Amino acid sequence: DSGVTQTPKHLITATGQRVTLRCSPRSGDLSVYWYQQSLDQGLQFLIQYYNGEERAKGNILERFSAQQFPDLHSELNLSSLELGDSALYFCASSARNGGYGYTFGSGTRLTVV
Amino acid sequence: QQQVKQSPQSLIVQKGGISIINCAYENTAFDYFPWYQQFPGKGPALLIAIRPDVSEKKEGRFTISFNKSAKQFSLHIMDSQPGDSATYFCAASKEGGKLIFGQGTELSVKP
């Protein structure tokens, strides 16, 4: 157990729908990072939050949004889902506002049908 | 300039052999180079990392070799075991920013 908790583990939904993925970082970690892993694109950085504030943005679609709450858990919202959004979504956390020593969760496997 | 290129895509090694995975980067501002190991159904786990001020770092059977002038770094797994069969990712970041990952190498160690 890495200490980073992601729920749900699996999600199957239809095109056009909206889903919310949840991440609880390791105790004491202030930064949360979201990554998308697909077979053809590898691990792609989506967005980072540090202590509730957005700090960096990657190749995140406008249909996707995220936030980090005062208790430091984070949610990734995916809307108007398309078949191509099917992927593994990982959350990682680190103690500081920096990429050293990420700890990843086990991911949420999203299948859009 | 943000890319990290990893090779090979897949690798088959006999038990007891040496597994070698290579990565190349373009952005000379990168200052942190970790390797992650991922088993099926799990998230990537940090294996070993190096900073550009050293040319080699060893932890048990795992060694990172770093060539700053060539902008390349590699992971060597000595005495490879079937339990090492996994997908390996190299990555890079600058000034503590987001990690940029290579495409991954699927390693299979045959008994």
What lies within 8 Å, CB to CB, of B33 at 6+ separation is: B23, B25, B49, B50, B51, B52, B64, B66, B73, B90, B91, B92
Does the beta carbon of A86 lie under 8 angstroms from any beta carbon of chain B? no
The per-residue pLDDT for B2 is: 64
Query: Which fold, B4-110?
Result: Immunoglobulin-like (2.60.40)
The per-residue pLDDT for B12 is: 98
Q: Which of A102, A103, A106, A109 to mutate to test the interface with B (most CBs of B within 10 A)?
A: A102
Measure in Å the smallest separation between the Cα of A41 and chain B Cα atoms: 7
List per-residue pLDDT tens for chain A, 113 residues long: 889 999 999 999 999 999 999 999 999 899 999 999 987 778 999 999 999 999 999 989 999 999 999 999 999 999 999 999 999 999 999 886 665 778 999 999 999 99
Listed residue (A56, A59, A22) closest to A43, CA to CA: A59
Residue B2 tokens read as 């943000």
CB contact under 8 A, B99 and A99: yes
For chain B, the structural domain boundaries read: 4-110
Would you say B34 and B99 are in contact if contact means Cβ atoms under 8 Å apart? yes
Residue B7's CB: how many other CB atoms inside 10 A?
15
